[in-house]
Amino acid sequence: MSAVGQGSPPGDDPGEEPVSIGVAGAPATEGSPPRVLVLAVDLAWASRLAAQLRSAGADPETVHDAGELAAHLAAGGIGAVVIDLAARAYDGIAALGTAAATGLPVLAIGQHDDVDLRRRALAAGASWVHSYRTMFERGPQIFAAWLAAGRGDLLPPPMEPEP
């Protein structure tokens, strides 16, 4: 398996199996879409990703900087995270690490020719890493496969009551 193909669903790397998302928490409620947080600066790209997630059965919410990401993660109720790695307004790998540290599955998106960035994304905790072109062409199918890989675990654990 190539480093570029690691963490990708079948179709990007022949013979590759999907990675189990494996989020600890309560089982998904039947018919309840997982809330997926999307971190992307470009409004058109963020809207496209949100539309693709909706068509894959998720309930997307978009944020545009690392501070918003941290605030939404702290508030809870998120089942997974999608991060645009190439934005200049934040460090994509650091944002990915913040999201992955919560135990949530993270799908990262970056340049197809930046193998080092893809390797760093996987090392930082991305469950899957894809190129912009792949997501542009097959985003709904990829999101559906990614969500299905961990469908029973995509809902977060119940929030703890505040003291």
With respect to residue 3, please indicate whether it lies within any of the assigned structural domains: no
Whether 6 is in a domain gets the answer no
Query: Which pLDDT does position 31 carry in this prediction?
Result: 57
Domain presence at residue 156: no
Domain harbouring 133, CATH code: 3.40.50.2300
What is the pLDDT confidence band of residue 112, given thresholds at 50, 70 and 90?
Answer: confident
> Residue 162: is its pLDDT beyond 70?
no
**What is the average pLDDT score of the chain?**
79
Taking each helix axis from N to C end, the angle separating 132-149 and 43-55, rounded to the nearest 10 degrees, works out to 40
The pTM of the full predicted model, rounded to 2 decimals, is 0.76
Q: How far is it, in rounded angstroms, from Cα 64 to Cα 69?
A: 8
Decide if 11 is inside a domain.
no
128 beta partners: 107
CA distances, 47 to each of 27, 40, 122, 161 (Å) = 29, 9, 25, 33
Phi and psi at 97, nearest 5°, equal: -60, -40
Total of domains in the chain? 1
Assigned domain for 125 exists: yes
Q: Which domain holds residue 106?
A: 35-150
Identify the sign of the CA torsion 112, 71, 154, 99. positive
Please say if the pLDDT value at position 56 is more than 80.
Answer: yes
* Tokens found for residue 40: 């992307």
pLDDT band at 160 (very low <50, low <70, confident <90, very high): very low
Paired residues of 38 in beta bridges: 62, 82
Banded pLDDT at 149 (limits 50, 70, 90): confident
12-25 confidence digits (pLDDT tens): 432 333 333 333 33
Whether residue 21 contacts residue 105, with contact meaning beta carbons closer than 8 Å, is answered with: yes
* Residues whose CB is less than 8 angstroms from the CB of residue 22 and which lie 6 or more positions away in sequence, other chains included: 105, 150, 153
The rounded distance, in Å, linking the Cα atoms of 87 and 2 is 25
- Whether residue 25 is contained in a domain is answered as no
Percent of the chain with pLDDT over 90: 64
